Structure 1
Amino acid sequence: MTDILSPRPQVLDPAELESALRLANIPVLLAVTFQLTGDRIWLSDRYRPTRSAGMDENLTGGLSEKTRDEVRRGALAAVKAWNSGAPPAVPRPEGELLLELLAFVNGEDVPAEYEPMMAELLGHRPVTSPVPPPRPDRRTKVLVIGAGVAGLLSSLRLREAGVDHMVVEKNERVGGGWWENTYPGCGVDTPSHLYSFSFEPHPWSTFFGKRDEVQAYLEAFADRHDLRRGIVFGTEVTDLEYTAADGTWTATLRAADGTETTTRADAVISAVGVLNRPKVPDLPGRDGFRGEAFHSARWPAGIDLAGRRVAVVGSGASAMQIVPAVAGTPASLTVFQRSPQWIAHNADYFRPVDPGVHRLMEHVPYYRRWYRAKLNWIFNDRVHPSLEIDPDWDTDGRSVNAVNDGHRRFYTRYVERQLRDRPDLLAKCLPDYPPFGKRMLLDNGWYAALCREDVRLVTEGVRAFTPTGLVDTAGEHHEADVVVLATGFESTRYLHPMRVRGRSGRLLGEVWGEHDARAYLGMTVPDFPNLFLLSGPNTGLGHGGSFFTIVEWQVRYVVEALGLLDANGLRTMECRADVCASYNEAVDAAHAKLVWVHPKMTNWYRNAAGRVVAASPWRIVDYFTMTRHVDPADFVWTNAG
């Protein structure tokens, strides 16, 4: 990553640099030029960018072509001077100056509470733990369960801290959900430059990464850091049991051939994720279906849909990627929609990343960090105020506040434009619940696919399989040769189906109930010492943001916790029951004021009782602040026994 702390990269040829600057994000380039020159002319009203509309990256900043050329020329001169050895005038803007820059680049005020987080994201003020990492001679052994994004990062950070650890992965490869989900169209709904480790950039080929490239990124990450040698593949943890006498965990491991062994660890990090256990509806008649039926996360390799009658059950994120990707290949495509989705247009969804942009990232100082910081602002907390229920607002349940109603009108116009020639579809596709009541999806050709003559949208539920298709809840039969169950995951059954027994002998599933998981900061649970959950309850990002960002903070928190054990010569730490209870009371109180509890819709964040279990109620900046350091007062510390 190019910045003042990195070695100077190979200097671009001036003509090549000038060409690359033609592709630059203008607001980002203004921040870069100011840092290099210190000249406040670049922060004047003449160059002030407009606020980006929606989730657009605001490439031009709303400036005229003439003004953009002035910015490019100024940046060219500044980068040339830097290449010649001139030091940057403002290497690490912080405090009021950083807030001024953030507001300028984004075209809107950025509250002061964001300064610490953004200073860290920009590399201006790296967070250092007040606690030394665990000592290698302590010989603490940690078991990490899962080798997806969270498990790989845990392994890297534990190794850097000198902590002995083993990673157990149920699959044959790293990647977790990205290894398992191979369905057509699979990809991310977060910009690629956010959906990656902050310290491990990648020259993404598209603005929104597709499954194969994300999986390749994780494979390369594991290889680059030599992580595979510490991973036991093809092995699942079925049971965890805590022994109070010596403060250790015993894990039962089951290999692919059914062989079971045990291993002991001083601490356990669960990195099993949330969206990895398919939720398969128990529909009568499936055994008698003569065609092929499978969950979207278990897409059969080599299946040919050409000329066949295909039914997709579901219209959520997976279905929305599958349907446009396969439309036109089957003889017919029937989509069963339980409820319509709010869908946002994004012109960048299929946009390839020009090689010149990669050169900007690699050769222009500060550019990558500012670009990522700008995306963080657009895709993170910016939308959060529109989720907050205004008790005095009333639009027949169609929105929750004035800003949210503005979003409703904006997205309604988009749906109406897409379906202007299909009033029958418009009636089926326009939600009657507030925007962001479910995670906002991006239009990747969904409406265009629904408008095809060989595609049919059914708004009835599925009642049963028949030998030749599906019967809907209205009694109509739909012929099908292939049924894709895009029915989501067991998002409220954390650690399922693992059996975890704590200090008192109770199973974690008994403590929580089957669908009502609760943890302090989503990471620790009373009665379960030295057990850390990554992507635990109430840490999912419903309003936006990157999973990678949250995981980096959680792993930092866990490694600091292990360091505290070592620094104090202790063996176990256990979250205080009152701390956990108070935290979850605050979680529930915050959720009660947010759109996800709105009575007009269901979503995968909530359990059957209506409690939000999966999504976080907090803004990204709130969670950053909460997890920045471990507070020893939140835990009971012992030498075990």
Structure 2
Amino acid sequence: MTTTNASTRLDEARIRSGVAVANIPTLLMVLVQLTGNQRWLRAPYLPSGPRGLSDNDTAGLDEALQAEVRAAAIDAILAWGSGAPVAIPEPAPDTVVEMLRVAVGEHAPDDYADMAVQELRAGCGHESGPPPIEHLPPGFEAVVIGAGPSGLCAAYRLGRAGIPYTVIERNDDVGGSWLENRYPGCAVDTPSHLYSFSFAQHDWTRWFASRDELLGYLHGIADEHGIRDRVRFGTTVDSATWDDDERRWRLDLVDKDGNRSTISAPIVISAVGAFNKPKLPDIPGLDDFAGPLAHTARWPEGMDLAGQRVGVIGNGASAMQLVPAIANAAESVTVFQRSPQWAAPFEKFQVDVPEPVRYLLEHVPLYRAWYRLRLTWIFNDRNHDGLQRDPAWPHGHRSINPINDGQRRFLTRYIVEQLGRRLEMLGDVLPSYPPFGKRMLLDNRWFATLTRDDVHLRTTRVAKVRPDGVVTDDGLEYPLDVLVLATGFDVVRFLAPMHITGRDGQTIQAAWDGDDARAYLGVTVPGFPNFFCLYGPNTQFGHGGSLISMMELQMSYVDDLIRRMLDAGVDSVECRREVHETYNREVDAAHARMVWTHPGMDVYYRNSKGRVVVNNPFKVVDFWRMIHRADLADYRTTAPGNR
């Protein structure tokens, strides 16, 4: 799965420094492939299972065994760098699964094999996509709506396929949510080496990248692949209408000066994302606040909080990042909490990737590939079983099964540790609902920050806003200089406010009854030919996974479907209604067995009817098999000239 250029020698000193602090389970896998020696997969080198989301860098081995592994790894890597062949360049799928089980210290199922092989190849930098399309019909092109991560992914794959495309972007630059969100402390809560495209490996400076580094990464992709030149910035799509005679979509555009124009294309890919429409709370007097008022997703440039009394409404993911980041600058911070949140420890919060390890990740593809593959398991399906509701479980008010109850005990102990001497706060910060009922957050000193004397947690709802502060339901007044809304996004209204009209004049808003979005594989909807969604309904892996990986999965499917469409000589594909309905019945049935339909929680991923419309209920590996290849039999097709 990897090759080396013998004329490019590795820097021995940097390799030694990198291996000295590298991840032992990953080094064991590198040793197996480089040397072919299977003894590294047996005792006494077997790693222990990871604790929570830990990288388990030492594998739980004693220092003598660690030293032995590191010394052997140095010899093997330097030999490979000098031209020695890889002993097992293409391990068989069953071997990869066996190695993965050892690397993560727990059982990974056999059906993970094919996906693991593909992930391993991608981690080594092998491009597995198909070649450019040789012959395109005249006028065949695509329009991509949005230049965030999913739009860049779509543009890259279209460009690689040789399909002309135009990207429509409402902002003045690429980046999507990572362009718009710039509040203090903004960062990703997925490991950087997972939150990156297989076609764009990156030298990450932190294990969990900051917003600025992520935005720079996306800018680099746009520049390297010539995408920026194909983007119409400062332009929104007002409407898109399917012309069944021409087999093309007509898109009505409006630029930032109000000028209107129209373009058309046979293929439209929506890459507008979901976390881009800030949700504003319905609180009387909100517009009357005299001081600075900002939503975290629309953070003002240069906003100074030094010496200010800051109020934060909300305590979700953005608040958990914001409050610890501003506590030292503000005179005081008062958090108005709707309900407590579970948050898991993660040891590498704001920790830099050591420079020697960065060298190892960049110059030893097998190390990068196996490090990433371990992450795909630790942050993906290993927790799926713990999210299944056990009807016989007698403690349904606090957890949904024995695994989930164990998670509750573990997380509760962690919260107690973080509160230290402030245990009187436990009742205010300990959730009553099961772990993972809401999105599991990663703790960046949230609980510890709440124990500060200048940070105050209030659990009473804000009743109204006054020019100089807020008043809560219990009548207490809180004077404030700055008010921050950390109230999340309107996620369930996919594609809004665009007006999408498909075949027979049906609108997507009518098809989805407002906020009841459904799509086959999260990608395509009956009645809307040649229209594809990335990050559409039911595509967020609530139990883990990487949004970037999901985007690649979906775009790979769209790419495959377009190729099959062209090979078959058809000019439109429309998902069959029975295929769409069967799939969505399976989605709903799977959700009925999971924690996200547990009562007593107000969550962003359920719509007004109580249906889960954001999260994907399947294991990552199962969904990978569903979407791995397109099947034209799932679609109603039309041939050119057949109007």
Shared fold (TM-score, shorter chain, > 0.5): yes
C-alpha displacement of 1:132: 7.7
Match of 1:585 in 2: 585
Compared with structure 1, are the counterparts of its residues 557 and 127 closer, same or farther at alpha carbon in structure 2 (3 Å cutoff)? farther
1:507 partner letter: T
Q: Deviations over 1:39-74 (max 9, x none)?
A: 122122111111111100110111111101111111
Match of 1:151 in 2: 151
* 2:203/2:362 contact within 8 Å kept: no
The CA deviation at 1:10 is 3.0
Residues 539-558 of structure 1: matches in 2 within 5 Å? 539-558=539-558
What is the match of residue 86 of structure 2? 88
* Separation of aligned partners in 2, 1:588 and 1:72: 48
Q: Which residue of 1 aligns with 2:604?
A: 604
Matching of residues 519-534 of structure 1 within 5 Å: 519-534=519-534
Alignment of 1:625-640 (within 5 A): 625-639=625-639
The one-letter code of the counterpart of 2:16 is E
Deviates more, 1:150-159 or 1:14-23: 14-23
Once residues 85 and 6 of structure 1 are traced to their aligned partners in structure 2, the CA distance between those partners, rounded to angstroms, is 7
What secondary structure does 1:573 align onto? strand
**Match of 2:475?**
475
Letter aligned with residue 374 of structure 1: R
Q: Which residue of 1 aligns with 2:337?
A: 337
TM-score for both structures, normalised by structure 2? 0.97
For residues 286-435 of structure 1, the aligned pairs below 5 Å read 286-435=286-435
SS of 1:447's equivalent in the other structure is helix
> CA separation of 1:260/1:470 partners in 2, compared to 1, >3 Å: closer, same or farther?
same
Aligned to 2:51: 53
**Corresponding residue SS for 1:46:** coil
Q: Is the 8 A contact 1:274 1:494 kept in 2?
A: yes
User: For residues 128 and 83 of structure 1, what CA distance do their matches in structure 2 show?
Assistant: 24
Look up the SS of the partner of 1:194 in the other structure: coil
Tell me which residue corresponds to 1:213.
213
1:16 is aligned to 14
Q: Percent identity?
A: 47
1:135 is matched with: 135
Q: What is the distance in 1 between the residues matched to 2:439 and 2:358? A: 30
Report the AA paired with residue 499 of structure 2: R
Q: 1:129 Cα deviation (Å)? A: 7.2
Q: Deviations over 1:433-487 (max 9, x none)?
A: 1001111111111112111111111111222211211122223222112111111
Aligned to 2:28: 30
- The aligned residue for residue 237 of structure 1 is 237
1:97 to 95, 98, 106: 95
Report whether the alignment pairs 1:561 with 2:565.
Answer: no
Q: Distance in 1 between matches of 2:205 and 2:96?
A: 31
Question: For residues 565 and 431 of structure 1, what CA distance do their matches in structure 2 show?
Answer: 50
Provide, for residues 545-593 of structure 1, a one-character-per-residue CA deviation record: whole Å limited to 9, x for no partner.
Answer: 1111111111111111111121111110000011111111110000000
With 466-475 and 364-373 compared, the bigger mean Cα shift is at: 466-475
- State the one-letter code of the partner of 1:560: D
- The residue aligned with 1:515 is 515
Question: How many residues of Structure 1 are paired with residues of Structure 2 in the alignment?
Answer: 639
CA contact (8 A) 1:605 1:612 kept: yes
Q: Report the secondary structure of 2:84's partner residue.
A: coil
Please report how far the alpha carbon of residue 416 of structure 1 lies from its aligned counterpart in structure 2 after TM superposition: 1.0
Unmatched runs of 5 consecutive residues or more in structure 2: none
1:309/1:385 Cα in 2 relative to 1: closer, same or farther (>3 Å)?
same
Shift of 1:134: 6.8
| Partner in structure 2 of residue 594 of structure 1 | 594
Gaps of 5+ in 1: none
SS state at 1:612 partner: coil
Partner residue in 2 for 1:616: 616
Judge which range, 73-82 or 505-514, deviates more: 73-82
Partner of 1:179: 179
- Provide the residue aligned with 1:453 in structure 2: 453
Say if 2:131 and 2:160, in contact at 8 Å, map to a contact too.
no
Alignment partner of 2:540: what SS? coil
How many Å separate the matches in 2 of 1:444 and 1:546? Answer: 19
Residue 601 of structure 2 aligns with an amino acid whose one-letter code is M
SS in 2 for 1:605: coil
Alignment partners' CA distance in 2, 1:440 and 1:286? 30
Tell me which amino acid in the other structure corresponds to 1:410.
F
Cα drift, residue 128 of structure 1: 6.0
**Match of 1:108?**
106
Note the aligned Cα RMSD (angstroms). Answer: 1.6
1:260 corresponds to = 260
Structure 1 residue 16, shift from structure 2 partner: 2.8
CA positional deviation for 1:429 = 0.1
What one-letter code is carried by the residue in structure 2 that aligns with 1:517? A
Provide the C-alpha distance between the structure 1 equivalents of 2:170 and 2:7, rounded to a whole number of angstroms: 40
- Partner-residue secondary structure (3-state), 2:503: coil
Partner of 2:491: 491
CA–CA distance in 2 between the matches of 1:121 and 1:263?
A: 38
Quickly say closer, same or farther: Cα 1:184–1:447, change in 2 above 3 A: same
Question: Which whole-Å CA distance do the structure 2 matches of 1:417 and 1:33 have between them?
Answer: 38
Farther-moved stretch of structure 1 (629-638 vs 355-364): 355-364
**Distance across 1 between alignment mates of 2:84 and 2:289:** 72
| CA contact 1:134–1:567 (8 Å) conserved in 2 | no
Paired residues of 2:492 and 2:605 also in contact (CA < 8 A): yes
TM-superposition CA deviations, 1:224-268 (whole Å, max 9, x none): 111111110010111011111111111011100111111111010
Any conservation in 2 of the 1:384–1:543 contact (CA below 8 Å)?
yes
CA distance, structure 1, for counterparts of residue 306 and residue 82 of structure 2: 59
Q: SS in structure 1 opposite 2:612?
A: coil
Deviations 1:311-357 (CA, angstroms, capped at 9, x unpaired): 10100000100000001322221101111001111111121101101
**Structure 1 residue 13: Cα displacement:** 3.3
Contact 1:572–1:637, Cα closer than 8 Å, also in 2: yes
> Can you list the C-alpha shifts for 1:170-193, whole angstroms capped at 9, x where unaligned?
000100000000000000110111
Whether the 8 Å contact between 1:240 and 1:249 is mirrored in structure 2 is: yes
Asked if the contact 2:234–2:255 (Cα under 8 Å) also holds between the matched residues in 1, the reply is yes
**Distance apart, 1:95 and its partner CA:** 2.5
SS in 1 for 2:616: coil
Once the two structures are TM-superposed, the CA of residue 26 in structure 1 deviates from its matched residue by 0.6
Q: Which moved more, 1:213-222 or 1:129-138?
A: 129-138
Q: How far does the alpha carbon of each residue in 1:608-631 deviate from its partner, in whole angstroms, 9 at most, with x for none?
A: 221101111111111111110001
Q: CA deviation at 1:360?
A: 0.9
Q: What is the deviation of 1:6?
A: 5.7
CA drift of 1:17 comes to: 1.8
Aligned-pair distance for 1:8?
Answer: 5.2
**For residues 502 and 9 of structure 1, do their structure 2 counterparts lie closer, same or farther at Cα, with a shift above 3 Å needed?**
farther
